[in-house]
Amino acid sequence: MIFVTVGTHEQPFDRLIAEVDRLKRSGIISSEVVMQIGYSQVVPAACNFQAMMGYLEMEAFMQAADIVITHGGPGSIFGALKQSKIPIVVPRRALFNEHVDDHQVEFARHLQRRGNILPVFEIEDLEDTILHYREYAERMGGMNRTEDGPAAFVRQLDRVVAELLGSRA
């Protein structure tokens, strides 16, 4: 199963929803797809979806998913990492009126350097990343983390925030 989340930001992320739905409709994605579409105006035709989900429901979908695809928000990214998933991250972009600026692109680039995520900066690259997900994730060494649980999640988030703030000082 593939789980897609766009978070709760009030601007639509139609570009991601439309592309995943296209891949599912065309048969490129054969597994089940569940989406949390937020304020997106695109209504998926081939995927199960809800506008919003509670934390526990989202956590359960992330845990059950073979692949998690998320926007570039830290909460969603670290939610996937907490479930020992390497998320495919498609940052929202100001160019497409998906956010007020490109901070999600900057954040995704930072995490890419750390080797935590599979970023997709151009929507045309999403198909390849999904089709070769296992190969790419294995090259990254999987998630073989020894830490787990909320405390480990908070420590990891603290490290990333400290690195980001340190890089701007």
pLDDT at 147 over 50: no
Greatest extent of the chain over all pairs of C-alpha atoms, in Å: 48
At 146 the pLDDT is 37
CA-CA-CA-CA torsion for 92, 126, 35, 155, nearest 10 degrees? -60
**Residue 78: pLDDT above 50?**
yes
24: exposed, middle or buried (Cβ count in 10 Å: 0-12, 13-18, 19+):
buried
Q: Quick one: pLDDT band at residue 152, thresholds 50, 70, 90?
A: low
More reliable by pLDDT, 149 or 39? 39
pLDDT for residue 145: 42
If phi over 0 gives left and psi between -120 and 50 gives alpha, with beta otherwise, what is residue 53? beta
- Average pLDDT (102-106) is 96
- Alpha-carbon distance of 92 to 94, in angstroms, equals 7
Residues of the chain with pLDDT > 90, as a percent, come to 79
pLDDT of 168 over the 80 cut: no
pLDDT of 140 higher than 80? yes
User: Which of 108-121 are b and which e, b meaning 16 or more Cβ less than 10 Å from the residue's Cβ?
Assistant: beebeeeebbbbbe
Q: What are phi and psi of 110, to 5 degrees?
A: -60, -50
∠ at Cα 42 (82, 116), nearest 5°?
25
**Per-residue confidence band for 81, with pLDDT thresholds at 50, 70 and 90:** very high
Contact 4, 24 (CB under 8 A): no
pLDDT of 101 over the 90 cut: yes
Indicate the pLDDT class of residue 144, thresholds 50, 70 and 90: very low
